[in-house]
Amino acid sequence: MAFFLDFIIGFLLMNSLPHFVLGITKTRFLGMFGYKPTANIWYSITQLALALILFHINHGIESILKNGIVLGAVSTCVLFMIFGKAVLKFYRENGKDHS
């Protein structure tokens, strides 16, 4: 059972990031909450929260600091959720042809 929960935790963590990226880039993509970008953003946040809840049930949330793989995945998701839109805006502005 522990292996299965760990698999689901990893799946939710890794699946949350593409849905967030598709949401902030306003790409129409089917998520559990629908096609709209906002729906994909909320689906992403829900998946991240569920992954953390399942991790807490299976291991205890304090052990996340001892599990480098999960800590790295959660950190990547959270940092991209905080800074993703700004990073995309920066690269869109700097990627334009200025000739």
pTM: 0.83
User: pLDDT band at residue 96, thresholds of 50, 70 and 90?
Assistant: low
C-beta separation of 51 from 9 below 8 A: yes
pLDDT tens track for 2-28: 889 999 999 999 999 999 999 999 988
81: pLDDT strictly greater than 80: yes
Residue 92: predicted pLDDT: 82
- Concatenated DSSP letters for 9-66? HHHHHHHHHHHHHHHHTT----BTTBSSHHHHHHHHHHHHHHHHHHHHHHH-GGGGGG
